[in-house]
Amino acid sequence: MQEKIKKALTDFIAAIRAAKIYTTDHPRFTDTINKLYIDLQDIFRERKELIIGIVDGELAFEHFIFFDLSKKLKPLILYLQERDIERIVFYQSLQKEELARFLKVLTTSQDNGQKDFGSYFSLLGIKNIQAGKIKTSSPELKEKVKKLRNYLMEYEGSLEKVNEYLQKVIDQEELDYLELRYDVLNFLENMIDMYQEFLDLTTFRRKDLITFVHVLNVTILSLHISSKMGYMKDDILDIGIAALFHDIGKLYISNKIIQKTDMLNREELSLMKHHSVIGAEILFKYLDALGTLPVVVAFEHHLRYDLKGYPRLAFPQKPHPASLLVSMCDVYDALSQIRSYKKSYPPIQIHDVMQKERGKAFDPELLDRFFQIIGVWPVKSIVSLSEGSVAVVREQNGDDIFNPKVEILSPEKKRGFIDLSKERIEIAEYLDPFGKGKEFLQMIGSEEQASVA
């Protein structure tokens, strides 16, 4: 549904532009009206009305905030706000002629003095469109917009920081240790309580920073897990800095190799297997600034718990606990994200894949603690239940990682919270937010019932 609404909004601004550039009788305007009308009819096959709101300068549909679209359609938002329009409702019985008249009203000079759109629309025969102020103030929704906007700004700023620090080390430039530690402390203080929200933002990707999304996610996840495990603050920061630089050797190697969509050849594979050694050598030059842990973690993060990974050691010894932790977070995030060479795995499959490496790649006790914290079904996972409902995971049960606390989203009459560990109901299927779960995305952003209606 979100994609359909995005298309309708994009065609809406195209129609406004055409009405201002041409006349409303011009064929170009007629073409844009036809496209917009088709968009709306497509939406009306699934719902009786479409309500679009402007909340704190952002486009909103029910519980979903179109941050990415708001940037693109900023002219539309400003245009509507200048006309005191915060809410537009399109009804299922809408006729194409009404839509054309509505666009004509919108593109008429404000000097016409029309503020009561309801009466004016009625005079013009526009019965299936309403426009005006949001009738009921929704502080919850405004607070949500503010919170999510802050998430976006914080996450994008963090990506820039990650880019900056990694690039400095790759170029072997001097690092400001206090600044680095301060920024990692900010990650800890600002992101730990918002851990799942920040991982949700991996869909908000800057193409020029895509390489660093994984690094930032591993850093946040390492900070999150070590914090929940009760590590001292200084140790948590050390682990976060080590996680930040754990893959510096891979980044140092040609991006052409890293970004290949097909299998690596033998020579490239050999070079990639040396990236942990290369990374340790690079970080050794920063020993005075960063300490030994980043060197150790960069060198050991592919060693495995059973010592069968790489690089091969003349005298094998058990990897450092921080290396085992960062390695686990590295694998978990890699399995969670869509890459050029693979699709993402559903949560239960990630759990099963990692459990197969219990006592091999991963320390058994650490693996158990990891999933007690993260859960099999991460917070905000959209799932179908064995009794037919669709729900979103809201909270983990540390004693029963397979049965979290969920909020039922559909059907409407069953809306509410249940603890699956206390019910004879199980999770039947994970609904991919880019597939089956897409239509429920707008419903999961907040546990509060907020609406632009």
Q: Look up the CATH number of the domain holding residue 322.
A: 1.10.3210.10
- Regarding whether 60 and 197 lie in a shared domain, the answer is no
- Regarding whether 331 and 423 lie in a shared domain, the answer is no
Residue 450 domain flag: no
- Regarding whether 193 and 313 lie in a shared domain, the answer is yes
Helix (H, G, I), strand (E, B) or coil at 117: helix
- Regarding whether 292 and 361 lie in a shared domain, the answer is yes
Per the structure, the count of domains in the chain is 3
How far is it, in rounded angstroms, from Cα 173 to Cα 302? 26
- Point out the domain boundary residue: 343, 374, 405: 374
Residue 146 domain flag: no
- Regarding whether 333 and 267 lie in a shared domain, the answer is yes
Residue 334 domain flag: yes
- Point out the domain boundary residue: 374, 399, 432: 374
Beta bridge partner(s), residue 49 = 91
For helices 2-21 and 96-106, give the axis angle rounded to 10 degrees.
Answer: 60
pLDDT at 447: 38
pLDDT of the chain along its 453 residues, tens only? 667 887 888 888 888 888 888 877 888 889 999 999 998 998 888 888 888 877 667 777 765 666 666 666 677 777 777 777 878 888 989 999 988 888 888 777 554 444 556 667 777 788 888 877 765 545 665 565 566 666 666 666 777 788 888 888 888 888 888 888 888 887 777 665 555 555 544 444 444 445 577 888 888 889 989 998 999 989 999 999 999 999 888 887 765 555 555 666 676 666 667 888 888 998 998 888 888 999 999 999 888 888 888 787 767 788 999 999 999 999 998 888 755 444 567 888 999 999 999 999 999 999 999 999 888 888 878 888 888 888 888 888 878 888 988 888 888 788 888 889 888 888 888 887 766 766 676 566 543 333 344
What are 361's two structure tokens?
């790649």
- Regarding whether 161 and 71 lie in a shared domain, the answer is no
- Regarding whether 288 and 412 lie in a shared domain, the answer is no
pLDDT at 321: 94
- Regarding whether 120 and 193 lie in a shared domain, the answer is no
C-alpha dist (Å) from residue 423 to 77, 381, 416, 420: 46, 19, 14, 5
Residue 228 domain flag: yes
Residue 449 domain flag: no
- Regarding whether 127 and 167 lie in a shared domain, the answer is no
pLDDT at 264: 64
- Point out the domain boundary residue: 335, 353, 374: 374
- Provide the residue range defining the domain that includes 74: 2-135
How far is it, in rounded angstroms, from Cα 253 to Cα 278? 9
Instruction: Tell me the backbone φ, ψ of residue 317, rounded to 5 degrees.
Output: -145, 155
Residue 277 domain flag: yes
- Regarding whether 407 and 302 lie in a shared domain, the answer is no
- Regarding whether 367 and 387 lie in a shared domain, the answer is no
CB neighbour burial string for 258-274, b if at least 16 within 10 angstroms, e if fewer? beeeeeeeeebeeebee
pLDDT tens readout for residues 40-91: 998 888 888 888 877 667 777 765 666 666 666 677 777 777 777 878 888 9
Residue 140 domain flag: no
